[in-house]
Structure formats: structure tokens, C-alpha cells
Amino acid sequence: MRPYDIDKELKILRPLRYKKYSQLRRIVFNIIFNMSLYFTKPTKGMKKKTYVIKGYQGKKIKIFVLKHKDETKNQKGLLYLHGGGFQIEGTLVHLRMVSDMIDDSNHLAVFVKYRLAPKYPFPIGLEDCYQAYLWMINHQEMLGININQISVAGDSAGGNLSVGVALLARDRLKRSFERMLLFYPVIDHRQITPSMKMFDDTPMWNSILNKSMWETYLKDGDFGMLNYTSFLISDLHGLPTTYIETAEYDCLRDEGIWFAEKLKKLGIKVVERHMEKAVHGYDAVFFSKFIRKRIDERTAFLLGELDHEEN
């Protein structure tokens, strides 16, 4: 591995580098992460409830609803879609991060356990997430949310799903999310950026894993829906105000930057944060000051406190 100058708070991630995800590794990771999700408690003052809902084609999926114990009516909502290369379950880190974001911003969150590749390739996971959004709309009174004030957020592959759901909502429902937050997102299946060619040995994620991810996710084809998962070739009109984080040592870095530029050319408000000396998936170092600052800025964006920044 090349000697990347990684931030001292993130150096614990340096040994975590892989060249492939074997089926055994997927199984082991998903067993561990599934257990961690069910036993992880949300931030103090929050509560978590599990629901079984209808996903794509009526198949059952699970979601977690995270909200304040002191419930309020007509609050804002957040649809959170976790990362994991479209193949790996969400983790306790994801749940704690979402809990912290909504605790500080007074949102209710829906965390989606969408179905995963390779067993369930594109567009099944995306359509599961879209069904979770419809569930939020259809259960607005029970949840106590304002359906005109729902935001969507996701990290890595979850960022890809977030944009995809936003485009589906635009095209099928003529609806828009209030805000969209993307953390080191997967953006383009073509993998043509300079950073994609540059970073084939970085910790946490690299271009070799990225290539394998797309081959696995699209193994059954795109069903004429490629514009809902590869966004540098998509029509992005009508997307909401967007917050994007990118990492210096991440093969996905330039995709995020190019995506932000494309949004800005359409007149869409974008708040960008580029993390120097950072690698993909830095949220894994959850209790660091580095991540605490990220949580604070994400919360500020949800609250509209960064809207003064110019494109």
C-alpha cells in the first residue's frame, strides 16, 4: 500500500484493506452486523421500533423507526439508507450516527433494511427503499411527520440509493425531498474519474472493490433503469438542496465532486465538504472528534443553518 498521509484520528482504519468480498466474508459480516443492529440502543432520549413492511413486489422487509421519546406532531422526517457496497448490512455505527443527527435536529428517522446483492441485485434494493419512502408518506399520521418536510440521506452505496429514490419520487410521484445528504457516495457505474484510476489500494474501499461491486449489483442487467443508479449520465433536474462529503483518499472522491458540479450547473443548491487526509467510510471511527464535527455539520445542514453558503 502506498504511504497515504491519513489523519491521525483515522489511522485505525489503515489495516482495513481488501481486494475482494468473498461470499464467506459477506455472510460473516452480515451476521455480525445484523446482530449489532438489533442490540444497539439509540442515543439517550431516543427510542427505536422495528416494523415489517412491504418492499418491492410485496416482499417483506424491515425498517427501524428512530424518534424522540418525547414525541411531537408534525415533525420533519429523515429516510436513511445505509452503505455497504449494496451487499453488506447496516451497522451499529450507522444507527448511532442517525440517532445523533435526529436528536440534535428534532427529526424522526426511518432506517431501511433493504435487500442485498448478490441474491437481490438491482433494482430490488432501490425499489425496497422507494417502498419505505411510500410507507412514510402513507403513515404520516401514525409517525407524526410532515410529508412535505422529509429529507433523504445515505453513505457510500446508500448515497447512490438516496439519489435513486429522489429521482423515482420526482418521476413517479412528482414529489421532492426537502434535503438530501450524501456521504462519500457511489455515483457512476462507468468508473472513469481520475481518483478511480488512482486509488486501487486505499483502506476501506478501492477501485478494485468498486468494479466488483458494480458487476455484482448489475449482474442481471439494468432493466432500462440505469439513470436511477448512474447519475453522471442522468437528468438531475428537480433534485433537492444537497450536502455532499468526499474523502481525499477515496476512489469515489471525484464522482462526488463531479456530481456536485452537475447539480450546481442546474441551479441546485449544494453544500460541499471535502475531507483532507480521510479515507472512505471514515464514519467507522465514530467516537472521534473528526466524526463529531461531521455530525454537527450534517445536523446544521438539516436545520438549514448552512443555506447561506454560496454555490
Give the active site residues. 156, 250, 280
CA angle, 246 as apex, 241 and 251 as ends, to 5°?
Answer: 130
Count of beta carbons in the 10 Å neighbourhood of residue 140: 16
Taking the C-alpha atoms of residue 78 and residue 64, their distance in angstroms, rounded to an integer, is: 12
Give the number of other CB atoms < 10 A from CB of residue 15.
Answer: 8
Of 250, 276, 198, the C-alpha closest to 9 is 276
b/e map 36-56, b = 16+ CB within 10 Å: bbeebebbeebebeeeebebb
All three cell numbers of 142: 401514525
What's 170's DSSP letter?
I
Q: Cα angle vertex 122, ends 120, 125, to 5°?
A: 65
The C-alpha atoms of residue 236 and residue 167 are separated, in whole angstroms, by 8
Contacts of 2 (CB under 8 A, 6+ apart): 201
264-to-69, 132, 241, 260 alpha-carbon distances in Å: 38, 28, 10, 6
Helix (H) or strand (E) holding 129: helix 124-138
